[in-house]
Amino acid sequence: MKGRPLLPFAIIAIVGIVVMISLSFIGLNQREAMQADEEGEEEVTEIEDPVVAGEELVQASCIGCHGGDLSGGAGPALTSLEGQYTQEEITDIVVNGIGSMPSVNDNEVEADAIAQYLLSISE
């Protein structure tokens, strides 16, 4: 060891570099596999009672702007939409937004449940 004091450090450095490269390739393969899984399967939402599910989604997403009782706040009242909008139009608004309202939910099934709930509570 007296003649070559750097040899142990060189061996450790080489082993470390080999391990880092190996782990990088393993990580890349896992990332590609995860992306392939995400692209291959689209989440399908099944809703037994759309009105009940819509109420839960509205409570989670809409009351911040439209008020706790949906009678209005920063956004307009949502208690009298029947006659103003069809279910398809409300679903489109929930998915795409309108005016200053942003998109709320891009899941068509959940957006449709929100629309059904809002129409069911219309006065």
| Domain membership of residue 21 as a residue range | 1-38
Residues 111 and 63 in one domain: yes
In-domain check, residue 83: yes
Residues 63 and 19 in one domain: no
pLDDT digits (tens, 9 = 90+) for 78-121: 888 888 888 899 889 888 888 888 888 778 888 898 888 888 88
3-state secondary structure of 49: coil
In-domain check, residue 89: yes
Residues 57 and 32 in one domain: no
The CATH code of the domain that includes 112 is 1.10.760.10
CA distance 103 to 115: 14
Q: Is the pLDDT of residue 33 over 80?
A: no
Residues 31 and 63 in one domain: no
**What's the domain count of the chain?**
2
DSSP state of 85: B
Residues 10 and 64 in one domain: no
Contacts 24+ apart (CB under 8 A), 47-54: 47/109, 47/110, 47/113, 50/112, 50/113, 50/116, 50/117, 51/113, 51/116, 51/117, 51/120, 52/117, 53/110, 53/113, 53/117, 54/113, 54/114, 54/115, 54/116, 54/117, 54/118, 54/120
Describe the crossing of helices 108-120 and 87-96 by its angle, rounded to 10 degrees: 130
pLDDT attached to residue 35: 76
In-domain check, residue 44: no
pTM of the model: 0.62
Mean pLDDT of the chain: 83
Residues 33 and 81 in one domain: no
Q: Is 20 annotated as a binding residue?
A: no
State in Å, rounded, how far the first CA of the chain is from the last one. Answer: 90
Q: Is the pLDDT of residue 45 over 70?
A: no
Residues 111 and 86 in one domain: yes
Q: Is 66 annotated as a binding residue?
A: yes
In-domain check, residue 45: no
Is the Cβ–Cβ distance between 113 and 54 less than 8 Å? yes
In-domain check, residue 43: no
Residues 91 and 32 in one domain: no
